[in-house]
Structures are given as C-alpha cells and as structure tokens.
Structure 1
Amino acid sequence: MPYLEDGTWKPPKYSLGWGLCLWIEEWCVHGPGDVQGEPVHLLTPDENGWRDVEFARFIVDAYEIDRTGKRVVNQAFLSRPKGRAKSELAGFIGCGEALGPVRFDYWDDDGNPVGKPVKVAYLRIMATEENQAGNVYDVIRHNFEHGPLSEVPGIDAGLTRIILPDGGEITPSTATAASKDGGKETWVCYDETHLWTTPELKRTYNTVRRNLVKRKAAEPWSLETSTMYAPGERSVAETTHEYFRQVSEGLIKDQGVLMDHREGPWVNINDDKELKEALTYVYGSFAKVMDLDRIVQEIRNPATDEEDARRYFLNQVVAGSDQWMDLSAWKARRDDDDPIMPRDQIAIGFDGSIRDDSTALVGCRLRDGKLFLIGIWEKPEGAEQADGWEVDVLEVDAVMADACKTYRVEWVYADPMFWQDIVGRWAAEFGEKKVFEFWTNKETRMAQALERFHTATVTGQLLHDGNGTIGRHVMNARKRIARSGVLIRKETPRSKKKIDACVAAVLAYEARGDAIADGRLKKRRARVHGF
C-alpha cells in the first residue's frame, strides 16, 4: 500500500478510481464555502491549469482492484492538515458510492476495468456532533439538492437522510452505538477521527465497522478523515495510525489498509521562510488556493499553542507532556548515507521478555553511535494468536550468534530478567569480557544511561538508520520521575504500545560508551595510494 509521507506514488495496476474521478468531475460540484457550486477538478485542469492531483491519487489508490475485479482496500485513512478539504473529498466519494461506477463490472477491449453502481447502496456518514449532520453529509446533500445529481429521477434529499432511486439510503449519524447495530452499510465515512476520544464514540466506531462484513457482494469499505491526533488521547485516529504502523512493519497481516498521511517537515515555526515552505509542502496541490499568510498569522497569534499549531496546520504528531523523547529530535538523527556494514565494530543492547512484552536486540556502531535493529520479537495482534504465545528463545539465541559472526561485537549489555541462563551462556560463548549483565530495574544506573541517550539524541551525538520499530518504541516511552532521575515506562502497565526496543537501544548506546572508554575502538586506517 502506498504511504505518501515521502511524496512518492506508485499507481496500482488496476483501479476503478480513474473512472470515478471523471464521474465526480461530471456530476459533482463544490459544497458550501467560497467555491460553492463550482466544478471539481481532479484529472482535468481548470482554466488556470490547476487540478487536485493529490486527491485524485488517493481516489485511484482507494479503488484499487485485483485481477478478478475484487476490491483491495477495506479501510482507508486520509490524514491532512486543517482546511485541506478532506471532508469535501469524502463527500464526493460518498456521491460516487451512492450512484457512481464504483464496483467492478467487466474488462473493456483494452483490458481496463469498467465499473457499475452498488446495488441498493446504504451509506452512513458518521460525525461527532449531536443533532448535526457533519461536513461530509453537507457536501453530499448540497450535491443532491443543487448540483447535477439533483436532476436524477427518484432522489429524495433531506436534512436527516437521502433516499436513493433503488431504495438505498444515505444517513448521517452520531454517537449512540446501540442504534447502529444490525445495519447493512456498503460504505461508511468517519469524519475527523482525531476527535473520537470518548468510550461511546469508540463503541460506535467498532459497531459500525463490524456491520461492514455483512454484504459480501457489495464489497463494503470505510473511509476515515482526520487531522493529526494528540498522542495519548487514544482517539480512533491514533489507534488507526498504530494499526498501520504494525502492518507496515510486518507485525500483523495487511487486511486491506490504505494509509494516506502527509505531514510537514520539522521546522522552526518562528522562521517565516521555513514555515511557509513547510505549509506549502503539507497542503500539497491545495497550497495555491490556501491563504498561507493568514495561516502564518494564526500560528503567530499568542493565543495559539505551538503544539496545536503543529498538529492542525503541519499535521505533525506532537509529544505529550509526559513523552520522553521529542519526535523532531529523533527524526533529526536519521542518517541514510553511511549504512551499517559487516565487520563494523558494534555494541549490542538486549531487553527480553517471555510472553507479553517484546524482546529486542539493537546494535550501535562504535565509530559514530549509529543505532540499528538486529532482531525484534513482538506478540502478534489478532484473535488468531494463541494465548500461550512465547518468544522463541532458540531463534533469539540464533540471531545473537549470527550478529556476533557478522559484526565485530565489542560489548554487550543484556538485561538478564527472565534470561539469566541465556545471558550467562552468551558470556561463556562470546566472551566474559564482552557480554555483561545490565539490570534495568537498578534505577540509578538506568536513569544515568537514559540521560546520556537522551542528551546524545538532542545534541546530535547519536544517529540511527530510520528503523520504524526502534522509532515507534522510543516514541511510546513515557517519563517516570524517580529519586534517581528520569526513568521510562509504558503508557499504562497493560498498554500494547511497547518500549522494549527503546530500552535495548539505550543499553546498546551505553555499551558503546563503555567499549570506547575501555579502548576497544579501532581507528580505520586511511589508504595511501602509490605504495
């Protein structure tokens, strides 16, 4: 699945999205706002040559099909900054799901897929506001009351529902989960899911999501739209982001997830030039029609909190008050130019569990402090997992042995909790002067190691290769204040957001420091040509 954070795009081989984009241009108009009633431009440029390429790409991705014509995407997530017209796009897609060519019909003579409408389409538009339809439904209703779709016979559009010609229906809904059970939705839109934080809204989300498995022939799917969430609120948007991270890292099987997230680069928001460039990037195709100067003024307003400005206008994840590591500092330490190579001198950190938490081996190159993942064992998600899941100890042992063969391992710090026999055997096999126990529950020593790691990250003494698992575990870590200093913990004791790779990274960096202090760093000799 494409992930657009890096600005790249590889179109799917087969998609009904191309035809839907043209259908939207023919049948839909912009909803309430400055351009109300004006035509939509996705593939076809307007008189100034502008078209919303970014949203056209999303539609093409969302309507990918396989060679049999079956939908590939079951759940799509569109993450963009405030004001990017996410809800309007969802409204256009909703119009298409009601009457457009959105399900496979046949292959034309050129081998391209041709679509047909959903039979008896039932659309549910979910919003958080009580007694209010929400922005997505407003766009759909405007099109069925005032746009070209208002001329379609058999349409009955109103404030609380739209009846379709074949008996289908478009219904706006709010939060009471029980009233949604038993539905037969063919498409659901959850709008602004970063606001879906209450237990009732989460129950509603789960209830409606379960309804989507009932109509096999209609191939139901859902779309979430959101601006960046506030970490720690456990909103639906945060949960969806976490789910996608696990899919992208191969921790759980992809169930047809499309994550389209775009965020601005981390810049000094007090620098006008940097801020404008970041806003231009994050608003993408829409930047030309946005008043970026006004957004800069809003960000500069003393009443605007910097964290809110970054979340709403740059679409960035901003650390909560108890988050241990700042995301911008961690991202700034990524280095792609000098990869870890066999025979490099390294130190290793090990943090192990047996059942519930993760087990991780992290390496740190001696000469520059660059971190990389050697191995990670995480309890799989999903109902299919066995309650008795345990880390494969033999596999961990084999990966450790392979690392010692591949690299010149100078120092290992291993937390021996639950693993004392294995750690003892590593010391005997790989050298008692190389493998050492490091009890992470010894608060004073651990607080000092954490402080050195944090300082090295902020000041640029530490590097990493961009590994997503290490980064995720580092960003999951929360501060715990103790007498000995700042320690780290999980969000909650039973949280599924693990930090074990973060602990292993801290031990690896600490091991690197002690290896260098012990004189084990070998300077690379420069080659002298001509001798």
Structure 2
Amino acid sequence: MAAQLTVEEIEALEPTFLGPTWLKNPDDSWKLPKHTLGWQIAGWCAEYLEAEHGGPWRFTSEQLRFVLWWYAIDDNGRFVYRKGVLQRLKGWGKDPLLAVISLVEFVGPSRFSHWGPDGQPVGAPHPQAWVQIAAVSRDQTRNTMTLMPSLMSDKLIETYGIKAGAELIRANGGRQRLEAVTSSFRALEGGRVTFTVLNETHHWVTGNNGDRMYETIDGNATKKDSRYLAITNAYLPGEDSVAERMREAFEKILDGRAADVGFMYDSIEAHPATPLTPEAIRIVLPKIRGDAVWLRVETILQSILDTTIAPSRSRRMWLNQIVASEDALYGPAEWDVLRDDSKMLQPGDEIVMGFDGGLKDDATALVALRVSDMYACVLGLWEKPDGPRGDDWAVPRAQVDSAVHDALRTFEVRGFYADVALWESYISEWSDTYGEGLAVKAPGKDAIGWDMRSSLKASTMAHERLMRSVFDRKLVHDGDRKLRRHALNARRRTNNYGISFGKEGRESPRKVDAYAALMLAHEALVDLRAHGKKVRKRTGRGYFL
C-alpha cells in the first residue's frame, strides 16, 4: 500500500525530530539555549582544530545547534544535560563530531568557570580531564581515535603539550588524558573519568558485557559529576542493547513515567509509512540526513534497492528507523503496549506455568500466567553466557529443579505444561509429585509433559492462540527484559497448519525459550478455562486448588 503513495503524499510524510536541536521559535527560527558554553567552544575549535581538507574546523548548522544544547548551562552554572544520545543514519558523521567533542573535553573550555560581563558563561579546561572513548571492541574505538591526529593542529599540540599515542593521548605533562577503552566493566569501576563517549551502543549487549559497561560508566559519572554521550545507529529491537535501553528510558521521560534526569536524546527518523521506492527515497532522504550533504542519495538508493540486503536493515541504516526484522512475530509496538507496572505476582496467586528446557546451548525458562488476568511473569531463566564465560557451561539443573518446586509451593498452580525434550526424568518426577493436584493435565503420558515435537499441528494451533491473546491485548506482562528479548527474537515460521515460531537460525545465539515457555503456560490456561476441573486443596510439598 505504501508503494502506491503519490508524490504529494510522500512529501507530507514528515520525519520524527527528537531533541532540543530541532526546537523552533514562533517565527520559525531555531530555538537556542539561554546560556551555553557552545559559542566559546565553537570559537576554540576554529582556533585549535583542523578540518579534514585543511583550514579551521567549522561545525555545520545542525552540529552547532547540537553542541550549543549539549553545553547548555542553567542559572547556577550547572549543565542542563547529564547524559545524551546522538542517533543518526549511517555515514552522517557521528564519529568525527564526537572526536571533536572529546578534544574539547580533553583540553578545551568544557567546564563552567564564571559569568562574563555579558551575562554569558565562560568556560575553562578541566584541570584533570580524563576522557574515555568506550566501546565493546577495539575496532569501534579505532573509528574515533584514528580521527584525532588529523583534527589536532600544530597550535593545539604546542599550546597544550600534546603527546599522542594510538590509544592514549596526554596533555600538560600528563595531567590530562584521552584514551580508548574496551576493557571489562570491572576494570572501569571507580575511574575518575570526566567525560565518556559510548561508541555504537547498538552493539552493546549482554553477551559482550555492554550492559555492565554502561552501568559502570553511569556509576562513575554519578560519583564524579561527569557526563557521557552515546552515539548509535537505529538499533534492532529485541537485542536488549544499551541503545535500546537508553531509548526506552527516554520514552518513559516523554510519557511522564520517569523523572527527567537531564537526558538529551537527538535523532531524525523517517516517517514509518515511508516506502522503499526510488521516488520516496529521493524525497525523504534529504530530509533526514540533515546537514550531511556528503551522503549521496543515489549511492544510498543503490544499497536500498539491492535485494541481498533485508529491507528492515536498510530502514535502520539509511532511514534511521527502529524496526524489527521482516519475519519477526512482534515489534516493540505490539509487545510493549502489554506492559502493566501496577501488577505483581503474589504468593498464593492462582497461576498456570510453562517450562521449556535446554542443556547447554539453549536457555531454560519457567514462566507463569496468572489465571485471573493473564498476567505473565518469568519465574526463572537460565542462559548460556557469551564468550569465554560460556565455555563448558551447562544449565544448572539442580537450581532449575529447586525453582520449580519453590513455585509449586508458593503459588496455587492449576496447570503446568513442560516441554519434555531433554528433561523427561525431571518432568516425570514433577508429575508424580504434583500431578494429582493439577486442575488440567497435559496431553501426554503424564500430567505435565507436553511434547512440542510430537505434533506440529498442536504446537502451531497453540501458538496461534497465544498470538491472538497478544494482538488482542488480553495478555499483560511486567516489562521483564528477558521475556521481552525472547519474544522479540521469535521469528515467524509458516507451515500447513498456520504460523509457528522459531529462532532466526539453528545456530543463532538469540534465544526464544522464554517465549516458548509462555506459549505452554498460555495453552495450559486455555485448557483450564475450557475444561479444567476443581481440585481439593491439599497440604505438603504440593499445594493446590
């Protein structure tokens, strides 16, 4: 349908503009901060930094507005923004801009000194500046660090006594330092860093400890009253990357669900209805590239029209749109709307449970659904860590078994469906111990075992029932990030009976086991409502209604 839009309709598809950079006054002029160090910084950059082809550094209008707002000062001389995100399409120039800002933080007038006679703030260098370019791989830090030599003029080097290395630059006898860091989050703990660049946070995920690096950087910034700025492309929903977490935090502020902690988020994103046609791209791309006129529309168009590149990837790279893969069952819009922070699972609640188990590579999950309101909650999730920590890792079966018993003692469990693969002996034991107390029995040889491998038709129909509950917004959840990640990882698999699900590939590290456990819990609830029986309450290890 989008491909049939007229030129006039495409012209009317205005991008989404986020951040103060895009605010305007009633007369259509750009709104600028009342007090900022940005003007002084722009002059300092022109004096001490060099542009790519020689001559003094000059910000584009868009870059300058960003810098003016990032260095905005309140009436008490404190920065308005404590942390920030710069999200732009690929090739916009995020690395060069952040390299410039890093040099400003290194030896430039980056800190409030006093008020000038004109009532504007005057900046001064931080006397013990410690600037870090942080990333989860050395290649990412190299993108920024390799720009430093070309930016530093002879005047800068001589004035500030610069001693430059590949990964560490010192100034003024070593009192100020700028460095690239990719070490573990533990090595970053406690650093007296004054400014940090978080490079390509769409790659910062749990598997590479990106989430812990972010938490450490935020903690260091809080202790030292410093700041940090992240740069990112549009992230892939469901990966639970730091970029995704920061966007969600920003949207909570916009929605009034969280306090504004001085968070500056700057992005231009193409309208969701933008079709990937040559006519549309030629109209829309100039709007969202901003001042990055070096991005050639026709070259980008060739990439977008390349059928070997998934359209969703083209949208993330070139339209700066946050979109899921084409075969994803759900996007953030479908899943996040089900969140209800007012609900909480309580001991004694009447629930059903679903279980999907693995041994080494796959995750193991135990998920509950409350009978009264279809409220989903993760009771346990065990996943193989990425990297060296995952070597020789195996699911801690004793912990899983204990969690199942704890759940059956804590809640009034009316039904419990567990995929039998790899866990037959445990499931048989659970069935022997608790099966009589369940109001609904699995369609297998015992009360709990539900073999997802035995009937493609049964599994597919169970999945379609879950999908209807999701799309009809009958199911709600607590926003658990692990369940969200697994649900958004699930990919559509069509067969003769309808729509099933699976991982994006057999060897994919993006797990879906918690979603599978949710499906089994949901199916237990469907059966309970259809033909569940009343069960006498009993005491002991198994306690049911």
TM over 0.5: yes
Question: Which residue of the other structure, out of 294, 302, 305, is the alignment partner of 2:310?
Answer: 305
* Aligned equivalent of 1:230: 236
Amino acid at match of 1:354: K
**1:448/1:229 CA distance change after superposition, 3 Å:** closer
* Aligned equivalent of 1:39: 56
* Aligned equivalent of 1:324: 330
* Structure 1 stretch displaced more, 146-155 or 479-488: 479-488
* Aligned equivalent of 1:3: 18
Matched positions, count: 359
C-alpha separation between the residues in 2 aligned to 1:262 and 1:238?
Answer: 16
Question: Which residue of the other structure, out of 291, 301, 307, is the alignment partner of 1:296?
Answer: 301
Q: Output the aligned Cα RMSD.
A: 4.1
Question: Which residue of the other structure, out of 241, 246, 250, is the alignment partner of 1:244?
Answer: 250
Question: Which residue of the other structure, out of 217, 221, 229, is the alignment partner of 1:212?
Answer: 221
Question: Which residue of the other structure, out of 4, 18, 22, is the alignment partner of 2:39?
Answer: 18
C-alpha separation between the residues in 2 aligned to 1:350 and 1:220?
Answer: 33
**1:181/1:175 CA distance change after superposition, 3 Å:** same
Q: Which secondary structure does the structure 1 equivalent of 2:321 belong to?
A: coil
C-alpha separation between the residues in 2 aligned to 1:476 and 1:262?
Answer: 28
* Aligned equivalent of 2:130: 122
Amino acid at match of 1:86: K
Confirm whether residue 154 of structure 1 aligns to residue 161 of structure 2: yes
The 5 A counterparts of 1:75-86 are 75-86=83-94
Where structure 1 has 5 or more consecutive residues not aligned to the other structure, the ranges are: 43-51, 331-348, 358-441, 454-468, 496-531
Report if aligned partners of 1:5, 1:261 keep a CA contact under 8 Å in 2: no
Report if aligned partners of 1:78, 1:260 keep a CA contact under 8 Å in 2: yes
* Aligned equivalent of 1:284: 290
1:238-283 superposed Cα distances (whole Å, 9 cap, x missing partner): 1110111111111111111100011122355442221122111111
Q: Which secondary structure does the structure 1 equivalent of 2:228 belong to?
A: strand
Amino acid at match of 1:89: L
Confirm whether residue 64 of structure 1 aligns to residue 72 of structure 2: yes
If the length of structure 1 is used for normalisation, what is the TM-score?
Answer: 0.59
Report if aligned partners of 1:123, 1:186 keep a CA contact under 8 Å in 2: yes
Amino acid at match of 2:44: W
* Structure 1 stretch displaced more, 249-258 or 270-279: 270-279
C-alpha separation between the residues in 1 aligned to 2:340 and 2:332?
Answer: 22
Report if aligned partners of 1:77, 1:258 keep a CA contact under 8 Å in 2: yes
**1:272/1:6 CA distance change after superposition, 3 Å:** farther
Amino acid at match of 1:162: I
Report if aligned partners of 2:240, 2:485 keep a CA contact under 8 Å in 1: no
* Aligned equivalent of 1:107: 115
Report if aligned partners of 1:267, 1:274 keep a CA contact under 8 Å in 2: no
1:168-198 superposed Cα distances (whole Å, 9 cap, x missing partner): 1111111422222221100000111111123
Report if aligned partners of 1:175, 1:200 keep a CA contact under 8 Å in 2: no
Question: Which residue of the other structure, out of 325, 344, 347, is the alignment partner of 1:355?
Answer: 344
The 5 A counterparts of 1:377-456 are none
Question: Which residue of the other structure, out of 247, 250, 260, is the alignment partner of 1:254?
Answer: 260
Q: Which secondary structure does the structure 1 equivalent of 2:265 belong to?
A: strand
**1:352/1:228 CA distance change after superposition, 3 Å:** closer
C-alpha separation between the residues in 1 aligned to 2:140 and 2:485?
Answer: 36
C-alpha separation between the residues in 1 aligned to 2:102 and 2:328?
Answer: 40
The 5 A counterparts of 1:325-344 are none
**1:325/1:6 CA distance change after superposition, 3 Å:** farther
Measured after TM superposition, the shift of residue 89 of structure 1 is: 0.4
Report if aligned partners of 2:70, 2:81 keep a CA contact under 8 Å in 1: yes
**1:253/1:155 CA distance change after superposition, 3 Å:** same
**1:350/1:12 CA distance change after superposition, 3 Å:** closer
Question: Which residue of the other structure, out of 93, 97, 104, is the alignment partner of 1:89?
Answer: 97
**1:477/1:202 CA distance change after superposition, 3 Å:** closer
Where structure 2 has 5 or more consecutive residues not aligned to the other structure, the ranges are: 1-16, 25-30, 347-461, 474-478, 502-510, 516-545
C-alpha separation between the residues in 1 aligned to 2:151 and 2:187?
Answer: 27
Measured after TM superposition, the shift of residue 7 of structure 1 is: 4.4
Measured after TM superposition, the shift of residue 41 of structure 1 is: 2.1
* Structure 1 stretch displaced more, 234-243 or 129-138: 129-138
Q: Which secondary structure does the structure 2 equivalent of 1:69 belong to?
A: coil
C-alpha separation between the residues in 2 aligned to 1:25 and 1:299?
Answer: 37
**1:352/1:132 CA distance change after superposition, 3 Å:** closer
* Aligned equivalent of 2:522: none
Report if aligned partners of 2:486, 2:513 keep a CA contact under 8 Å in 1: no
Report if aligned partners of 2:85, 2:266 keep a CA contact under 8 Å in 1: yes
C-alpha separation between the residues in 2 aligned to 1:352 and 1:172?
Answer: 39
Confirm whether residue 165 of structure 1 aligns to residue 194 of structure 2: no
* Aligned equivalent of 1:369: none
Report if aligned partners of 1:125, 1:171 keep a CA contact under 8 Å in 2: yes
Amino acid at match of 2:126: V
Report if aligned partners of 2:145, 2:167 keep a CA contact under 8 Å in 1: no
Amino acid at match of 1:74: R
